[in-house]
């Protein structure tokens, strides 16, 4: 305390001895100074607190502004409703993420099938509302064909008369009493070229095995209606034959045939089919003998299978190609063709009329979609009964409009492709999809630097392969430029019956396919329709294709949260990119690589998938699905890394409201949603794993999934060990 205050006048006052006069005199001044100091401290503290409180509020505001916001657009509301309807949030995601995302999946169509049907609904809307469009002559034919296809009243009124006319053009048959014994090869040539039916073998154009832009004719085994197997129980075989016999007899009756003759001819037709089937060799046997495909000339095939006039039949089918005896063919199973030829020769000597009936009965089955409801119902009933006998799930029944959309799309693809692009794949959508693909591709290139089993040379070549890759997105060049798709279809004659329109379209399509192969194409020929939902990688052209039909809700939309687009469409893109390197994973496919590390990673992958439980009665071959499993498990990892990199560069991420999922949780949910499918619809010959494994396999291998869903150690989705392949 300052001494000046001790010299004041209050020192002259007297106070009791027991108390200090100084303390007594100075107390009021000391109290004044202490209170002021405390007030200042309180004010300073209050100011600091206010600043801290204000900054905290500001930080909270900033974080809320920059953090994920609910997406309120109509597209997001639709997606949210889709997720809520399909999932089952009562299931713990760490225990069964497939059920969490897909529900029990019973009666659920696969996500790809559901998207394909939605695309067909869009095409239906286009085809049923032509008034708002300025159509050219060719486009108008597409709309006319669709209209005649859905006009079931006219088709029913025509009855079997159009089909009887076709049979007469082929020479008739004994079943109806009128039969002209035409030359066998002339009839076969007509069936192949005018009706698109191949009773004894299939022939089609494909790219040459070593010259991808050069067409070659491939000869394959026929497609059998009977679901026969090399090793089949006699009881099942007898039931299948009985059902097929009843079906053929029903066809003959619908065509006015004598019941006794119909039964006899139907039985001998089945006998011919059964013998042809016995000539087939298992695929494994052909691979073991290294005779999966053989190159032979038409002349050489004529010597080995003389019953068929190969040059005349193929020339008629593939006009305007100019074929000669020295023309090379790709043959799938030469032994089958030799035995088939011998059987045909025997039938021609003994049962020429039965051979004719066999071909016509097969043609009627092929044409059933263009016939009236009685023929269609006979076909549908056969298929359902055969699926029951072979313990396959029932075939879903499609509405008439959907079948008509499919047929119109097949015959008038250029027109419908351009219309679909205009309707469903705007420049904004294409730009956003290409931006997503670029992010996936760049992430893969960066990730290849850390693949442990690759040597430096292979790594550099792999990165170059990705860099040089072409990408086709949306549709072919002519679909993206509608003016190029306005074909006139001058060779298509519509009417007088729907069957005649159908057959005219069959001939026109075949001619266009041949003409397409004969043109010098520097670019890739698309193998899927523009509205299709299948992406693929072409080895011969080193191009990856993503059709517009795949880049649609719920897989992709420019207005979706990025987590959805990366988790769904991004994972699909990465999956297809990894197929560039499938050859490296095969035995001996990468001699310079660290074989021990690669085989260890593949073995780990097999064991990882085998450790995941499946529904009872469902099993799979891990070796058969290995390449697809590798692409699945790597595809999700690449897409997640690409998404994480994008989060570091861009703000404004959104989420779906009312789902209680963070952006990264939404990423995983979106991937799983793509794989939703009823397990019972999975077929053992499918190169992909069952749908539950396609979800649990990749996601349980990712530590990020367990971290973001807080899965306890040892849970199904948080195993003790993981595999690193890509």
Specify if 661 maps to a domain.
yes
- Residues 666-686 as b/e (b if ≥16 CB within 10 A, e otherwise) read bbbbbbbbbbbbbbebbeeee
Of 345, 366, 399, which residue constitutes the final position of a domain?
399
The pLDDT of residue 680 is: 78
Same domain, 323 and 357: yes
Measure the CA–CA gap between 140 and 415, rounded to whole angstroms: 9
Same domain, 259 and 315: yes
**Structure tokens belonging to residue 648:** 């570091």
Same domain, 90 and 233: no
pLDDT greater at residue 523 or residue 261:
261
Where residue 247 sits, what CATH number does that domain have?
1.10.1380.10
Specify if 498 maps to a domain.
no
Measure the CA–CA gap between 497 and 270, rounded to whole angstroms: 31
- Residues 205-241 as b/e (b if ≥16 CB within 10 A, e otherwise) read bebeeeebbebbbbbbbbeebbebeeeeeeeeeebbb
Between 135-139, 143-147, 633-637, the lowest mean confidence (pLDDT) is in 135-139
Same domain, 565 and 435: yes
Tell how far CA 281 is from the center of its chain. 30
Same domain, 95 and 190: no
Same domain, 331 and 248: yes
**Structure tokens belonging to residue 483:** 């003016």
Number of H helices, E strands in the chain: 30, 9
- Closest Cα to residue 452, out of 586, 597, 279? 597
Measure the CA–CA gap between 549 and 684, rounded to whole angstroms: 27
Specify if 716 maps to a domain.
no
What is the mean predicted confidence (pLDDT) over 471-497?
82
- pTM for the complete prediction? 0.84
Q: Are 219 and 202 in contact (CB under 8 A)?
A: yes
Measure the CA–CA gap between 281 and 708, rounded to whole angstroms: 51
Report pLDDT digits (tens) over 297-318: 999 999 999 999 999 999 999 9
Same domain, 337 and 418: no
Active site residues: 576, 632
pLDDT greater at residue 344 or residue 396:
344
Where residue 595 sits, what CATH number does that domain have?
3.40.390.10
Same domain, 102 and 202: no
Same domain, 561 and 678: yes
Sign of CA dihedral 577, 580, 582, 585: negative
Specify if 16 maps to a domain.
yes
Same domain, 78 and 58: no
- Residues 32-58 as b/e (b if ≥16 CB within 10 A, e otherwise) read eeeeeeeeeeeeeeeeeeeeeeeeeee
Of 66, 96, 119, which residue constitutes the final position of a domain?
66
- Band the pLDDT of 234: cuts 50, 70, 90: confident
Same domain, 432 and 333: no
Measure the CA–CA gap between 600 and 607, rounded to whole angstroms: 11
- Band the pLDDT of 53: cuts 50, 70, 90: very low
Of 39, 66, 93, which residue constitutes the final position of a domain?
66
**Structure tokens belonging to residue 157:** 């009124």
Report pLDDT digits (tens) over 564-594: 999 999 999 999 999 999 999 999 999 999 9
Specify if 154 maps to a domain.
no
The pLDDT of residue 12 is: 32
Measure the CA–CA gap between 463 and 449, rounded to whole angstroms: 8
Between 83-97, 123-137, 215-229, 370-384, the lowest mean confidence (pLDDT) is in 123-137
Same domain, 316 and 418: no
Provide the mean pLDDT of the chain: 86
Measure the CA–CA gap between 62 and 71, rounded to whole angstroms: 18
- Closest Cα to residue 674, out of 559, 548, 534, 472? 534
Whole domain around residue 321: which residue ranges? 179-399
Specify if 351 maps to a domain.
yes
Measure the CA–CA gap between 582 and 658, rounded to whole angstroms: 41
Under DSSP, is residue 328 helix (H, G, I), strand (E, B) or coil? strand
The pLDDT of residue 332 is: 87
Measure the CA–CA gap between 195 and 503, rounded to whole angstroms: 6
Structural domain tally of the chain?
A: 3
Measure the CA–CA gap between 718 and 705, rounded to whole angstroms: 8
Specify if 717 maps to a domain.
no
Specify if 144 maps to a domain.
no
The pLDDT of residue 44 is: 53
């Amino acid at each position: 305390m300052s001494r000046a205050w001790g010299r004041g006048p209050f020192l002259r006052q007297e106070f009791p001895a027991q108390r200090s006069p100084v303390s007594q005199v100075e107390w009021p001044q000391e109290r004044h100074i202490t209170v002021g100091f405390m007030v200042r401290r309180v004010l300073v503290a209050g100011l600091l607190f206010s600043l801290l409180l204000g900054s905290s509020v500001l930080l909270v505001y900033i974080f809320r502004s920059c953090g994920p916001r609910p997406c309120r657009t109509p597209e997001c509301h639709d997606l949210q409703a889709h997720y809520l309807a399909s999932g089952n949030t009562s299931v713990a995601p760490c225990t069964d993420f497939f059920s969490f995302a897909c529900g029990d999946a019973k009666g659920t169509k696969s996500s790809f099938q559901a998207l394909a049907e939605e695309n067909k609904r869009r095409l239906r809307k286009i085809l049923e509302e032509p008034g708002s469009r300025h159509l050219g002559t060719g486009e108008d034919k597409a709309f006319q064909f669709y209209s005649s296809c859905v006009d079931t009243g006219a088709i029913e009124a025509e009855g079997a008369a159009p089909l009887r006319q076709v049979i007469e053009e082929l020479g008739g048959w004994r079943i109806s009493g009128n039969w002209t014994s035409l030359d066998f090869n002339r009839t076969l040539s007509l069936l192949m070229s005018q009706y698109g039916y191949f009773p004894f073998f299939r022939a089609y154009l494909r790219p040459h095995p070593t010259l991808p832009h050069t067409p070659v004719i491939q000869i394959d085994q026929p497609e059998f209606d009977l679901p026969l197997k090399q090793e089949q129980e006699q009881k099942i075989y007898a039931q299948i034959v009985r059902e097929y016999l009843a079906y053929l007899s029903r066809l003959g009756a619908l065509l006015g045939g004598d019941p006794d003759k119909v039964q006899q001819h139907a039985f001998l037709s089945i006998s011919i089919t059964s013998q042809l089937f016995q000539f087939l060799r298992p695929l494994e046997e052909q691979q073991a003998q290294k005779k999966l495909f053989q190159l032979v000339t038409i002349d050489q095939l004529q010597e080995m299978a003389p019953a068929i006039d190969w040059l005349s039949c193929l020339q008629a089918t593939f006009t305007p190609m100019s074929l000669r005896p020295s023309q090379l063919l790709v043959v799938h199973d030469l032994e089958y063709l030799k035995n088939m030829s011998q059987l045909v020769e025997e039938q021609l000597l003994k049962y020429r009329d039965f051979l004719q009936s066999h071909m016509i009965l097969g043609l009627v089955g092929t044409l059933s979609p263009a016939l009236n409801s009685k023929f269609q119902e006979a076909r549908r009933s056969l298929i359902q009964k055969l699926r029951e006998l072979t313990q396959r799930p029932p075939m879903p029944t499609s509405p008439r409009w959907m079948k008509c959309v499919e047929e119109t799309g097949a015959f008038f693809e250029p027109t419908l492709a351009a219309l679909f692009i205009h309707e469903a794949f705007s420049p904004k959508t294409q730009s956003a999809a290409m931006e997503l693909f670029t992010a996936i591709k760049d992430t893969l290139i960066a990730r290849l630097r850390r693949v442990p089993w690759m040597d430096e040379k292979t790594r550099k070549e792999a990165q170059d392969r990705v860099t040089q890759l072409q990408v086709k997105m949306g549709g072919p060049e002519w679909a993206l430029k509608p003016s190029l798709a306005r074909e006139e279809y001058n060779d298509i004659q519509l009417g007088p019956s729907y069957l005649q329109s159908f057959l005219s379209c069959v001939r026109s399509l075949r001619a266009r396919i041949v003409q397409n192969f004969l043109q010098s194409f520097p670019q890739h020929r698309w193998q899927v329709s523009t509205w299709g939902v299948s992406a693929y990688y072409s080895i011969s052209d080193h191009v990856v294709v993503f059709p517009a039909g795949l880049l649609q809700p719920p897989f992709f939309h420019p207005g979706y949260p990025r987590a959805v687009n990366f988790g769904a469409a991004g994972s699909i893109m990465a999956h297809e990119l990894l197929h560039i390197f499938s050859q490296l994973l095969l035995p001996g496919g990468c001699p310079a690589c660290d074989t021990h590390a690669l085989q260890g990673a593949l073995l780990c992958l097999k064991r990882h998938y085998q450790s995941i439980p499946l529904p009872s009665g469902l099993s799979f071959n891990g070796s058969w699905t290995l390449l697809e499993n590798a692409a699945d498990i790597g595809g999700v990892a690449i897409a997640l890394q690409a998404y994480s990199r994008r989060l570091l560069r861009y703000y404004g991420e959104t989420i779906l409201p009312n789902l209680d999922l963070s952006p990264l949780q939404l990423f995983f949910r979106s991937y799983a949603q793509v794989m939703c499918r009823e397990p019972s619809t999975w077929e053992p010959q499918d190169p992909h794993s069952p749908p539950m494994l396609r979800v649990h396999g990749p996601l349980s291998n990712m530590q990020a999934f367990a971290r973001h869903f807080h899965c306890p150690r040892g849970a199904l989705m948080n195993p003790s060990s993981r595999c690193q392949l890509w």
